[in-house]
Structure 1
Amino acid sequence: MAADDNNSENQEEQGGKSKKKLIIIVAIVVILAIGLSVGATLFFLKGDDSGSSEDEAVPAEEVKMPAVYLDIKPPFVVTYDVSGRQRYMQVFVSAQSRSQESLDEMELHMPLIRNKLIMLFSSQDFEALQTPEGKAALRTESLTLINEILEKEASGSSIEQVLFTNFVMQ
């Protein structure tokens, strides 16, 4: 019986050692799994940060400044002689720009701009101005004329659009 007692004690010690080994192995596997998941998370987050820094390095679309307007006052009144009859055209003009400096330069050179616009308006064909295409062409010519003056006199300032806010012909 004494031999049986030693045998059972050896089995218990070996069983106890086996349980301890199993617990240690499971603990090591759990620690490795946690370490790998943390490492993978940091790796992927680091990859995302480098991607966003690349996005920052790429220049973003240029943000347009809000539009600023300048009303050219007083309105333009031009006379035409059409088939022996006196005809009139009255035009209220505004200029649009994204730069207040361009409009300030335009105000500074307003006498020259008004003179050139009056000459342009009076040289137009009265019948052609009654069509939408004629009015659009006049707007385009006005824009070109003003930008040429600003380029020459104000060293490169420009406006985006010329707007006719009121256009009366009779």
Structure 2
Amino acid sequence: MADDDNKDVNEEETGGKSSKKLIIIVAIVVILAVGLAVGATLFFLKGDSSASDAAEVPVEEVKKPAIYFDIKPPFVVTFDVEGRQRYMQVFVSAQSRDQASLDALELHMPLIRNKLIMLFSSQDFQGLQTAEGKASLRLASLNLINEILEKEASGSSIEQVLFTNFVMQ
């Protein structure tokens, strides 16, 4: 009977040892599996971030807001049309996205006003009554101002010349 009790104790001890070994082996396998999963995830995410960084390099340039400068006083030009005196009054504004260009415009205003008056007075009165004639005068004014600014203010330029009021009679 004593032998039967020793057998039961020995079986319990060996059974307990094998179940402890099984738990340890399972725990090690689980830890290794989690470690491999984390390592693989980091490896693939690292590869994706470098590819997305390369794709994000070309950044679209943000446009600055437009700044306007009113050229005052308005321009008044006389025309002689078929022996009659005709007048044109033009309110002009300049648009730029660079304050330095508008500062240069203001600095060279006497030269710009002189050239614009000469340009306006050399126009054909009948041609200015059409939309195409006004658009052409606007473009010629822009080119004239940018030419002066490029020469006098080392490369400054404006984006548009705007006629805010245009009266002919």
Report the secondary structure of 1:126's partner residue: coil
Structure 1 stretches lacking a partner, 5+ long: none
- How far did residue 39 of structure 1 move? 2.2
Runs of 4+ in 1 over 6 A off after TM superposition: none
Unaligned runs of 5+ residues in structure 2 are: none
* Number of residue equivalences: 169
Quote the offset at 1:95 in angstroms.
0.7
Deviation at 1:75, TM superposition (A): 0.3
Match of 1:102 in 2: 101
| Distance (whole Å) between structure 2 residues aligned to residue 127 and residue 25 of structure 1 | 100
1:120-159 alignment, distance < 5 Å: 120-159=119-158
Name 2:77's counterpart in structure 1: 78
Pairwise CA RMSD: 2.2
How far residue 79 of structure 1 moved from its aligned partner, in angstroms, is 1.4
Greater mean deviation of Cα atoms: 93-102 or 8-17: 8-17
What is the percentage of aligned positions where both structures have the same residue? 82
Q: Secondary structure at the match of 2:155?
A: coil
1:112-164: CA deviations, max 9, x gaps? 11111111111112222222221111111100000101111111111111011
- Which residues in structure 2 correspond to 1:1-170 (within 5 Å)? 4-47=4-47, 49-51=49-51, 53-54=53-54, 58-170=57-169
- Tell me the TM-score normalized by structure 1: 0.85
